Amino acid sequence: MKNNSKVFVVLMILNTILVSCKHEIPELLNDTIPTVSASCSTDSVYFVNDIQPLLISNCAMSGCHDAITHKEGINLTAYVGVMREVRAGNAGESSLYKSMIRTDEDRMPPRPAQALSADMLTKVRNWINQGAVNNSCTSCDQTKFTYSAVIKPLIANKCQGCHNPGSLGGGIDLSTYTAVKASAQSGKLYGSVSWAAGFSKMPQGSKLPACELSQIKSWIDAGMLNN
């Protein structure tokens, strides 16, 4: 009995050491490669286009569920990490979705961050119920660059999680037209997304596709209209 409890104490100490170390070593996930469709179906939700940017800006920021911190062992930077929290085909049984629709203090992302919008929650739910596959599609048309149809959704999807009044990365708000316009006028918006020297590279981690950069540039050059 005595020996057993000693072994138990040693195991508990080892466990504490292991758990605390885990948070200092970046977790490199061997990710799977997405299947790419040449066009986007309006009936489908795509992991790379819709879900990953939403998770990166609302959940996988530094200090939360990124590769280095992976709070509670959850790493949402890559598909395989996301799938640990997902039961494919069943959003109602997926901790990823369930944590987002809670209304108590365990809601994700936690306050003061904003809750995900109804539109984002629908996307996550539909993506899981459609099988939670690692898919992507290409639909960007660089000749189209109105604020309402292109710029606003692009920023909502890929930037706002880190740039809203509840979570002001770098003190920058991109949650309204006025704020986005101000950022564009200061030169910072295009400087950061084009990864120009002297600006922070945005979004963190991966550069926007060339077509989306071109849309942002065209919208700015055309006078940053609220069109």
| Contact footprint for ligand HEC (CB under 6 A) | 56-57, 61, 158-159, 161-163, 169-170, 172, 183, 188-189, 192-193, 199-200, 202-204, 208
Q: How far apart are CA 212 and CA 200, in angstroms?
A: 18
Residue nearest to ligand HEC (CB): 170
Please state the closest distance from residue 223 (CB atom) to ligand HEC, in A.
18
Residue whose pair of structure tokens reads 């740039």 in the numeric block = 163
Nearer to ligand HEC, 91 or 216 (CB): 216
Q: State the Cα–Cα distance between residues 64 and 76, nearest whole angstrom.
A: 9
Taking the least distance from each CB to ligand HEC, the nearer of 14 and 211 is 211
Instruction: Report, in angstroms and rounded to the nearest whole number, the Rg of the chain calculated over CA atoms.
Output: 20
Expressed in angstroms, the distance from the first to the final Cα of the chain is 76
- Smallest gap from Cβ 181 to ligand HEC, in A, equals 12
Q: How far apart are CA 201 and CA 213, in angstroms?
A: 13
Q: Shortest distance, CB of residue 60 to ligand HEC, whole angstroms?
A: 7
Give the CA-trace dihedral at 183, 185, 190, 196, to 10 degrees: -100
For ligand HEC, give the closer residue by CB, 90 or 206: 206
Cβ of residue 105: shortest distance to ligand HEC, in angstroms? Answer: 23
85 or 212, CB closer to ligand HEC?
212
Give me 105's structure tokens: 């203090």
